[in-house]
Structure 1
Amino acid sequence: MGQSSTRGEGTRPRVPGARQPGRHDSASTAPSGAGRRAPDSAPGGGRGNRRQQTSRRRARRGKRRILRWVAGTVALLVIGTAGAGYLYYRHLNGNLQKSALNLGSHQAPKPTANAAGQTPLNILLIGSDARDSKENQKLGGAKNTFGGAPLADVQMLLHVSADRTNMSVVSLPRDTVLKIPQCTAEDGKTYQATGWTLANESLGRGGPGCTVATWESLTGIHIDHFMKIDFSGVVSMADAIGGVPVCVDANVYSHTHDGHGSGLKLKKGTTSVKGQQALQWLRTRYGFWPDTDVIRTKAQHEYMNSMVRRLREGTKLTDPGELMDLAESATRALKVDDGIDTVKKLYDLAGELKKVPTSRMTMTTMPNVNSTRPGFEEKVDPKPGDAEKLFAMVRNDTPLDGKGAKKKPAEKVSDDPAAPKADIGVTVRNGTGGDGGQPAPGRAGSVAALLTGQGFTRAVADQTLDPQKTTEVLFPSADLEGDAQAVAKALGVPLKSVKKSTDVSGVTMVVGSDWREGTTYPKSTADDGKTPDSANALHGDDKSACMHVDPAYTWTS
């Protein structure tokens, strides 16, 4: 792990048995000529020898073509580095570490298929700061953390659209303030739900499956798979790739007088980073303006975009030995969920990712604001409105690059005629705590009063708290759909928020956290197909990205 891929300098030897006669991968069949004994050559180098040479050349060409294809697809399978897919060697399956997908008691609903029967793919990429080995301790430093619970330093949700035409990446700052749901580890240990805490603590509460549960709780997005990597994995992968170009607009040295900083030291301009230097880039906070934890995600997006372009162009990765090093490093570096626990499954997943052109990749960071919660003043909260809009776009499979957004369908009006307003009974509940905050006091009563003023004289407030993020009008049976739509229209709530539910006995309005105050339902921009500016979108084909250096961390060459 972490060996150089330079030929002649500690090059990783070929996997034993890879070319032995009669050996086959259990998950697939190697290309023609690969792993087979060539025909015996004829004495004196006759026709048999020529056939043997031709067969070998074809085998090498076929092997190299598949290896290049793999290199172009693995790039998106690991945090800020690359992932793995390699069909030939059965032993690679044994390299992979496996764990349960979701350790929480609740899962977000799976997305429905489109007209063609396709569904999106959501993959959570996790970077761990664990100091659980001598190599990770050396790379991570901070001796006071040795033996402590691992933290999810990097969290990126990779969303591949149902039709595989576009891809979105959403980074969650590690210092996001949220609540972690109850998680039960695979050994049976239960971690109770938390109060307000930091997002990166989820990994230490049973493993990656708790980080998945936390994401689903926060975003409402169903996650299909996860992949986790630690410090040493990033270094070994970066070595195997051979370097990724990154840019800074001034000389930078990430180091403070009291010993903080990643240690990254680069000259102004573009530098190809690999190994430990790549890890330093991905972890740098002190050095890139404005020296916040959130700025790391921007640097990680620049690295990931550059790395994807490099691998898809095939730069320097034309030698089968180098690509074998990449596959070996990738499988040793990864911990994955049970659904992608073999090389064959990773290979198939990589095939889905490869369908997306680089130009349709969009990197974003969850819109955020400085937290005002006591004890978390230097941390961040999801930005009201913008964060939920970004999550909703992913849930609804809306491209974050603004291309190919579907025309908003016309709202369907019920065939059931509404009764007179004065005859419609309406129960109003307070759901304004759906964003995790405190519910707005008296909200159900104030909205019930609005309905009364509109002529719905039978509207009453229910003291039941029913937290949810969006306002909805529910009805139990088809004969009340028209009445429910009349209530929604009166207050400007979109008809798509009128839903049938067996959990209510009459028309019931739940005022969500999207309408905490005011007499007019806020106009939603969730369906306009535009990514919030606060998400700091970076597109995959943008080669101009360059990190702005804090003048306090420059140096003279």
Structure 2
Amino acid sequence: MSAESTPEPVIPQPDGTVPRRGRGRRRKARGKGRRALRATAWTAAGVVVLGGAGLGYVYFKLNGNIRSLDINQALGAERPTKIDNGSENILVLGSDSRSGSNKKLGGGTDDGSARSDTAMIVHVHEGHKKADVVSIPRDTLVDRPACTDTGGTTHPAATGVMFNESYSTGGAACAVKTVESLTGIRMDHYLEVDFQGFQKLIDDLGGVPVTTTKNIDDPQSHLTLRAGTHTLNGRQALALVRTRHGVGDGSDLGRIQLQQAFVKALLTQVRHVGVFGNPKKLYDLADTATKAVTTDSDLGSVNSLTDFADGLKGIGAKNTTMITMPVQYDPADPNRVIMATAKARLVWNALKNDQPVPKAATVGTATGGAKGVVSG
């Protein structure tokens, strides 16, 4: 049978029932390649920074799963000017919530609070063929500007506080405000992934293969891996991206290096995973992914996510560059870092001008010592 005469797949409903086909003229089936491109593109767009590979398919009609926030309204007009050069900047956060179903996954304190456990700026270059990802260490001491959260509450400015305090204080809007204050760059979009959704998504994908060059044993994240190749399930993947004491110098910088390596492995896995001909598995992935993310209001629908993904289908692991915001250990507290202002300015200027980040920007900065421990 020719491709033109192949009927469209019947998508099972969440309760397992199969909808009846309507009568009338049969439409051309949507190709597997297009579905695969959308999955890969959305992953590359940034949700993948913590494994939130959003499979935004129009025909799943899962708009109700997506939580969106009107960050533009909360931040108002006092923001960096949007740069109209064809590039885009997306702030991606992994939320370290201790409440609800995430509580047992979070570790640390059980106070029900929410923190930004991971933060990355995804810069998509003009032409949408490559991307730079800049991780912001959660332990960076910053001056947080005054901000208004999406509920309308105003929070006063604070000096010398940890970067992730901005999220726990005022949520997504205050996190965006702080990043824009640090960088001078307007964030075009916002994406947040929670613990539970991350873990379930990795399980739905069938795991992610990684290779470790050293043994990892971190009792705090409950991760133990011998040197070698492993296919990590959701629980192990979550532990890996939260591991810090079992690698490098035990700092947050080492954990960031593990996260960046895992993102590369996840990008590769999504390109190769064989789910695009399996309607039930596709539905499960889409259901999990759309429940896992919180977006800005401009991306707050399946259709918007799909359109966004279609513009990014050329980006994969090989053309994604990952660095950490240039920092130095704080002389007053080795458990904290401070931004290396001159070198960081090289990074922000490169993103503003849609140019590659110069290698000089990261030479001589603190690293964490975990590079190369994990690869895809």
Give the TM-score band, short-chain normalised.
0.7 to 0.9
Q: What amino acid is the match of 1:94? A: G
**Cα distance between partner residues in 2 of 1:332 and 1:378:** 34
Contact 1:124 1:157 in 2 (8 A): yes
**Cα distance between partner residues in 2 of 1:229 and 1:165:** 24
Contact 1:122 1:160 in 2 (8 A): yes
**Residue of structure 1 equivalent to 2:188:** 224
- Residue 95 (str. 1) matches residue 65 (str. 2): yes
Aligned pairs for 1:72-111 (under 5 A) are 72-76=40-44, 77-78=46-47, 79-81=49-51, 82-90=53-61, 92-102=62-72, 103-104=74-75, 106-111=78-83
2:99 is paired with a residue whose SS is: coil
Contact 1:68 1:318 in 2 (8 A): no
Relative contact order, higher structure (CA 8 A, sep 6+): 2
**Cα distance between partner residues in 2 of 1:280 and 1:358:** 22
Show CA shifts across 1:397-426 (max 9, x none): 1124xxxxxxxxxxxxxxxxxxxxxxxxxx
Deviation of the 1:236 alpha carbon: 1.3
**Cα distance between partner residues in 2 of 1:248 and 1:394:** 32
Q: Which is higher, the Rg of structure 1 or of structure 2?
A: 1
Deviation of the 1:196 alpha carbon: 1.1
Aligned pairs for 1:406-485 (under 5 A) are none
Q: What amino acid is the match of 2:110? A: T
TM-score using structure 2 length: 0.87
**Cα distance between partner residues in 1 of 2:70 and 2:252:** 29
1:346 is paired with a residue whose SS is: helix
2:37 aligns with one of 23, 46, 69? 69
Contact 2:117 2:138 in 1 (8 A): yes
Deviation of the 1:17 alpha carbon: 10
Q: What amino acid is the match of 1:99? A: L
Q: What amino acid is the match of 1:399? A: P
Show CA shifts across 1:144-191 (max 9, x none): 43223x110100010001222321000000001101111112322110
**Residue of structure 2 equivalent to 1:14:** 13
Deviation of the 1:529 alpha carbon: 7.7
1:129 aligns with one of 96, 105, 113? 96
More helix by share: 2
- Residue 306 (str. 1) matches residue 265 (str. 2): yes
Show CA shifts across 1:308-360 (max 9, x none): 11212345554232222111110000111111010011011111221235422
**Cα distance between partner residues in 2 of 1:536 and 1:270:** 28
Identify the range of structure 1 (352-361 vs 166-175) with the bigger mean alpha-carbon deviation: 352-361
**Cα distance between partner residues in 1 of 2:272 and 2:137:** 30
2:340 aligns with one of 364, 383, 390? 383
1:206 is paired with a residue whose SS is: helix
**Cα distance between partner residues in 1 of 2:42 and 2:372:** 22
**Residue of structure 2 equivalent to 1:152:** 116
**Residue of structure 1 equivalent to 2:362:** 532
Show CA shifts across 1:282-315 (max 9, x none): 1000111111111111111111011111212345
Show CA shifts across 1:375-406 (max 9, x none): x4420011132111112111111124xxxxxx
TM-score using structure 1 length: 0.60
**Cα distance between partner residues in 1 of 2:12 and 2:330:** 52
Cα RMSD for the two superposed structures: 2.7
Contact 2:41 2:309 in 1 (8 A): yes
Contact 2:141 2:336 in 1 (8 A): yes
**Residue of structure 2 equivalent to 1:459:** none
**Cα distance between partner residues in 1 of 2:336 and 2:203:** 33
**Cα distance between partner residues in 2 of 1:181 and 1:331:** 31
Q: What amino acid is the match of 1:125? A: V
**Cα distance between partner residues in 2 of 1:183 and 1:265:** 41
- Residue 193 (str. 1) matches residue 157 (str. 2): yes
Q: What amino acid is the match of 1:129? A: D
Aligned pair count? 357
1:378 is paired with a residue whose SS is: strand
Structure 1: tracts of 5 or more residues without a match: 1-11, 22-34, 40-54, 114-118, 256-260, 401-527, 538-543, 549-557
**Cα distance between partner residues in 2 of 1:121 and 1:364:** 17
**Residue of structure 2 equivalent to 1:392:** 349
Structure 2: tracts of 5 or more residues without a match: 1-10
- Residue 140 (str. 1) matches residue 139 (str. 2): no
1:362 is paired with a residue whose SS is: strand
**Cα distance between partner residues in 2 of 1:300 and 1:237:** 16
1:533 is paired with a residue whose SS is: coil
Contact 2:40 2:316 in 1 (8 A): no
Q: What amino acid is the match of 1:96? A: I
Q: What amino acid is the match of 2:349? A: A
**Cα distance between partner residues in 2 of 1:388 and 1:298:** 21
- Residue 547 (str. 1) matches residue 356 (str. 2): no
> Aligned pair in 2 of structure 1 residues 307, 547: CA closer, same or farther (>3 Å)?
closer
Aligned pairs for 1:119-518 (under 5 A) are 119-133=86-100, 135-142=101-108, 144-148=109-113, 150-255=114-219, 261-315=220-274, 318-372=277-331, 376-400=333-357
Contact 2:68 2:297 in 1 (8 A): yes
Deviation of the 1:18 alpha carbon: 8.9
1:354 is paired with a residue whose SS is: coil
> Aligned pair in 2 of structure 1 residues 368, 87: CA closer, same or farther (>3 Å)?
same
More strand by share: 2
Deviation of the 1:264 alpha carbon: 0.7
Deviation of the 1:279 alpha carbon: 0.4
Deviation of the 1:222 alpha carbon: 1.0
Q: What amino acid is the match of 1:71? A: A
**Cα distance between partner residues in 2 of 1:165 and 1:13:** 34
Deviation of the 1:138 alpha carbon: 1.2
**Cα distance between partner residues in 1 of 2:122 and 2:272:** 21
Deviation of the 1:274 alpha carbon: 2.1
> Aligned pair in 2 of structure 1 residues 264, 13: CA closer, same or farther (>3 Å)?
farther
Task: Give the % identical residues.
Answer: 32
Deviation of the 1:361 alpha carbon: 1.0
2:252 is paired with a residue whose SS is: coil
Contact 1:72 1:314 in 2 (8 A): no
**Residue of structure 1 equivalent to 2:84:** 112
Contact 1:282 1:296 in 2 (8 A): yes
**Residue of structure 1 equivalent to 2:4:** none
